[in-house]
Chain A
Amino acid sequence: MKPRQFVPAFIVFVLIIALIPVFVGFNEYFILLATVVLIYGVITTAWNVMGGIAGQLDLGATAYLGIGAYVAGNMLIWWNITPWIGMFVGAIIAAGFASAIGYVMFRYGVKEIWYALSTLGLVEVLRVIFMLWKEVGGPLEKYLPRSKTDPFYYMSFGSYIPYFYIALIFLLITFLVNYRLRYSKIGYSMLALGSNEDAAESLGIDTRRTKLKGLFIYSFIVGAFGGFYACFCSFIHPNTDFNMNFALEIAVLGIVGGLGTYYGPLLAASILVSLKEYLRAVFGTIVLGIYPAIFGLAIILIILFKPEGLSSILKNVYIKLRKGGGTKHGRQQHS
């Protein structure tokens, strides 16, 4: 989609999502599911900056998510500072941490599979550190303080609806950041870098700086979102926040969605996470553990039969709607 069709499409899209609670009749369970989908959507869309546009296979989404969650969570627990501020502090710390690590990695030319593995290793290192660091973490869930009189300050609501809308706002911001980036100078540099690093470098693109920029934007958003995630879970725990499988799922959704687009990851997240949550709801109690298999199979089938990603389906539909409709129909009538 080029900029011209984007604005109306975006508005329609926002309206549809915003009305989900109405469609499901304010059913708390369905709103919870929708919120989970949005959570995956936000992180995957943020991941797309680094993984999709800049083409760096980052498997460390939950390292930044966890840092954000722990910063905001601990600020609330220790000093009673509202997560609204904690989120911002968490974002800065997560992005600062990511940039420091990223600086070293890019300086030493860590790329491709090694970048992937070291970011994944990072998640696990942080998990263990926070497991051992009793003051801020530890092996027991740390529950965040709640308040019935001022739920907004504590970001602890009795219903899932407020969480749904906060996540939606996050999604919109992340989506717009992606979109803006995609057609900007930095965005082109990132795409070139992701497409062919040597060529980009030889044409004057500072690939290290470009990677750092991508990593910064991505970790900042995910870090901020970590604060929300902690409040949504209502506790912090190393296994929940620094979760490797979660990080892997994010990257898989990004890949399955189609790299280099700004809407592919979101599309994959909405379809596959809905499927996953549906399967969990249906089979969860009957046959334990069947839903990851179906989820895994879905991923395999998409990669094998739609290697350009789910976004290509949407693109084809769009092209057909534009060209097809009239002309194709007309041609058929003539022949």
Chain B
Amino acid sequence: MGGNNILETKEIVKRFGGIVALNNVNIGIEKGRITGLIGPNGAGKTTLLNVISGFLKPDHGKVIFKGKDITGLLPHKICELGLARTFQIVKPFLNFTVEESLLIGTLKKRSGREAQELINNVLEYFELDELRSKLCRELNVTQLKELELARAMATEPELLLLDEPGAGLNPKETSRFMRMIRDINRKKKITILIVEHVMPIIMGLCETVYVLHYGEIIARGTPRCISKNEQVINAYLGEKW
């Protein structure tokens, strides 16, 4: 794997009881790029994301972030190092206002006026200004998804892991979300890993795609390459594509 990788996983193995959820997974995420991770439901995508972000400990293998071994660190430590994530099912702070939600992300690194400035910037960037003092429980799912992305951005990450950002959005909202993600990558120079099973999102955004099938990486390449790969079509795309 190239030396320009911000994140690498080495021979990750994760078992749940007798089931092997991840088997010898090696991926590398190039700095500054958008990388995709696809695979059918139950392939172990979210498990891999949880291992990388510290929510699960792998049974074997290493996670290297910015050249540092972060295997087994707690999620908050990993976040502090500059790796933020979103969740497949949004996890809002229901009784918080939008502004307060963003505040949580800044607590570790900033305080006082600096934090407020950062929050204001994020609010503006995501066009959430009008919602700033609305309670999260009053927001709809699309707004919550945007807020979750904004919240992750408030931690000032270098690498952003997005777990199925397209889930629960209609096509119009999806394309808006895709634009937002591309914008974050280009303008804010943030590396992104997207986990998805909706192909168009991956096709439109990613430069490199990994395909996970039953816990194993079965292919890696450009989206165009992947969509022509025999094995991938058999494993996954065949039915849906």
Q: Tell me the A residues contacting B by CB distance below 8 Å.
A: 185, 188-189, 191-192, 195-196, 198-208, 260
Contacts and interface: CB of A to CB of B under 8 A. Distances in A.
Most chain A CB within 10 A, of B55, B91, B151, is at: B91
Contacts of B80: 204
B107 A191 contact: no
Interface string B138-155: 000000000000011011
B103 A188 contact: yes
A198 B93 CA distance: 10
Contacts of B95: 191, 195, 260
B100 A188 contact: yes
Contacts of B84: 202-203
B104 A206 contact: no
Contacts of A185: 107, 111
Interface stretch (B71-79, B118-126, B193-201): B71-79
Contacts of B76: 201-207
A208 B108 CA distance: 15
8 contacts: A189-B104, A191-B93, A191-B95, A198-B91, A202-B91, A203-B107, A205-B104, A206-B76
A201 B93 CA distance: 12
A185 B103 CA distance: 9
A259 to B, nearest CB: 9
Contacts of B77: 206
Chain B residues touching A, majority SS: loop
Most chain B beta-carbon neighbours within 10 Å: one of A191, A199, A202, A206? A202
Contact of A191 (B96, B105, B152): B96
Given A188-B100, A188-B107, A189-B107, A202 B93 contact: no
Nearest to A259: B95
Nearest to A208: B74
Interface in B33-54: 53
A189 B224 CA distance: 44
A23 B83 CA distance: 60
A105 to B, nearest CB: 16
A191 to B, nearest CB: 7
A208 B104 CA distance: 16
B111 A196 contact: no
B54 to A, nearest CB: 8
Contact of B93 (A195, A204, A206): A195
A205 B108 contact: yes
B79 A203 contact: yes
B104 A203 contact: yes
A188 B91 contact: no
Most buried by B among A185, A201, A260: A201
